């Protein structure tokens, strides 16, 4: 169950959207997240990138980490690795991730907090469970979303936004059946705390069994719903969707979704979903592991800059100690 909860009856409510509204976005595709191993070998579910990357533009990747109850000594992360050309948005639903980077920044992302990292021209960082979690074990559940940067902003200096659990804007659906945690973007006059280079909206909703969530959505944005846990339906056609699956919506002005009346035991309190979308960048994408640029020449340059220690302002020591040890580029 997410660390951040609230009594929806005490929160600002979204207005009612009538069912008769004709511009509901339909569902184009349901995509199954694939299991993948990251970093030192922690398991993630990854609904994209898949075969057709354009579906997600301006997003590049979504990794769903957990939920997993680590035993002592089991927690793993991603040691030192580089990024260039985009932003990583790490949202910890439960548990903690410790971040250290080449600009001297860092900190603990924990229990409902979000870290927004604009890698821009280049950064080296490590993302690891804190020592205490490694020693004792514990619940670990989070997501990392990669947001692309347009060509003109790929060389921007690195920037961080630490968004505390209390900074997310909490809202209620019209009947109190859904709790929304708005992390970025604007919804009915409410603005999430994340400052985005590429315009996006990003929220986490807990929808009570049987409840409906209907929200307006900017027409110029794409629209995606990822299921963290539980079961429900998406779109006016009520297509079934469950944990680990992603819905890709078509064009329109609003989104509708509904939690199943009966939820699996692990999600008995409600259906947990991420609702997100952004303005497509519509530029060529060249990507290699942790680098996302516009051309192959820029990727080669990124690899050369990394190998020569020019990618970020980190000390040569970091590079020698950490990249040789794990060897792989994420
Ligand atoms: Mn990373």
pTM for the structure as a whole: 0.92
pLDDT range class, residue 105, cuts 50, 70, 90: confident
> What are the structural domains, with CATH classification, of the chain?
8-312 (2.60.120.10)
Q: What is the pLDDT of residues 240-294, one digit of tens each?
A: 999 999 999 999 999 999 999 999 998 999 999 999 999 999 999 999 999 999 9
Residue 4 has pLDDT above 60, yes or no: yes
pLDDT range class, residue 154, cuts 50, 70, 90: very high
pLDDT recorded at residue 131: 93
Residue 112 Cα, ligand 1 centroid: separation in angstroms?
19
Q: What is the pLDDT of residues 29-75, one digit of tens each?
A: 999 999 988 888 888 999 999 877 678 999 999 999 999 999 999 99
Distance of alpha carbon 125 from alpha carbon 44, whole angstroms:
19
Residue 99 Cα, ligand 1 centroid: separation in angstroms?
9
Residue 98 has pLDDT above 90, yes or no: yes
pLDDT recorded at residue 54: 75
Tell me the pairing of strands 27-32 and 239-242. Answer: unpaired
pLDDT recorded at residue 319: 42
Residue 85 Cα, ligand 1 centroid: separation in angstroms?
12
Residue 64 Cα, ligand 1 centroid: separation in angstroms?
14
Judge whether 181 and 203 are in contact, CB under 8 Å.
yes
pLDDT recorded at residue 155: 94
Residue 180 Cα, ligand 1 centroid: separation in angstroms?
27
Residue 147 Cα, ligand 1 centroid: separation in angstroms?
12
Residue 172 Cα, ligand 1 centroid: separation in angstroms?
33
Residue 316 Cα, ligand 1 centroid: separation in angstroms?
19
Residue 329 has pLDDT above 50, yes or no: no
Residue 157 Cα, ligand 1 centroid: separation in angstroms?
16
Query: What are the Cα distances from residue 251, in Å, to 28, 174, 221, 295?
Result: 9, 24, 9, 29
Residue closest to 87 by CA, chosen among 33, 39, 159: 159
Residue 125 Cα, ligand 1 centroid: separation in angstroms?
6
Burial 86-97 (b: 16+ CB within 10 A, else e): bbbbbbbbbbbb
pLDDT recorded at residue 320: 43
Of 75-79, 131-135, 178-182, 315-319, which range is least confident? 315-319
pLDDT recorded at residue 317: 42
Residue 176 Cα, ligand 1 centroid: separation in angstroms?
36
Residue 177 Cα, ligand 1 centroid: separation in angstroms?
35
Per the model's pLDDT, the better-predicted residue between 320 and 143 turns out to be 143
Tell me the pairing of strands 106-110 and 169-172. Answer: unpaired
* Mean pLDDT along residues 70-97: 95
Residue 126 Cα, ligand 1 centroid: separation in angstroms?
7
Mean pLDDT of the chain: 91
pLDDT range class, residue 200, cuts 50, 70, 90: very high
Per the model's pLDDT, the better-predicted residue between 46 and 160 turns out to be 46
pLDDT recorded at residue 313: 59
pLDDT recorded at residue 101: 87
Q: What is the pLDDT of residues 161-171, one digit of tens each?
A: 999 999 999 99
pLDDT recorded at residue 314: 43
Residue 15 has pLDDT above 50, yes or no: yes
CB neighbourhood size of 64 (10 A): 25
């Amino acid at each position: 169950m997410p660390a951040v909860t609230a009594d929806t009856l005490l929160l600002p409510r979204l207005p009612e959207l009538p069912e008769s509204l004709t511009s509901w976005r339909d569902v184009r595709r349901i995509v199954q997240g694939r299991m993948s191993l990251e970093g030192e070998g922690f398991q993630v579910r990854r609904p994209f990138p898949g075969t057709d990357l354009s579906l997600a533009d301006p997003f590049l990747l979504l990794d769903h980490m957990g939920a997993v109850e680590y035993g002592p000594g089991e927690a793993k992360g991603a040691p030192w690795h580089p990024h260039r050309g985009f932003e990583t948005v790490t949202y910890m639903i439960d548990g903690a991730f410790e971040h250290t980077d080449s600009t001297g920044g860092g900190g603990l992302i924990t229990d409902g907090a979000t870290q927004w990292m604009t890698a821009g021209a280049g950064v080296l960082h490590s993302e690891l469970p804190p020592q205490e979690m490694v020693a004792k074990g514990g619940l670990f559940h989070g997501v990392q979303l990669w947001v692309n940067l347009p060509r003109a902003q790929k060389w921007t200096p690195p920037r961080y936004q630490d968004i505390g659990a209390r900074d997310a804007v909490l809202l209620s659906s019209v009947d109190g059946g859904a709790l929304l945690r708005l992390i970025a973007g604007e919804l009915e006059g409410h603005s999430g705390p994340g400052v985005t280079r590429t315009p996006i909206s990003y929220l986490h909703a807990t929808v009570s069994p049987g409840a409906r969530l209907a929200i307006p959505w900017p027409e110029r944005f794409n629209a995606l719903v990822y299921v963290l846990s539980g079961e429900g339906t998406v779109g006016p056609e009520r297509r079934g969707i469950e944990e680990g699956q992603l819905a890709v919506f078509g064009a329109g002005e609003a989104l509708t979704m509904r939690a199943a009346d009966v939820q699996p035991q692990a999600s008995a309190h409600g259906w947990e979903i991420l609702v997100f979308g952004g303005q497509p960048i519509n530029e060529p994408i060249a990507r290699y592991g942790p680098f996302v640029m516009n051309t192959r020449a820029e990727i080669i340059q990124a690899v050369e800059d990394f190998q020569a220690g020019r990618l970020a302002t980190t000390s040569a020591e970091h590079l020698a100690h950490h990249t040789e040890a794990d060897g792989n580029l994420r």
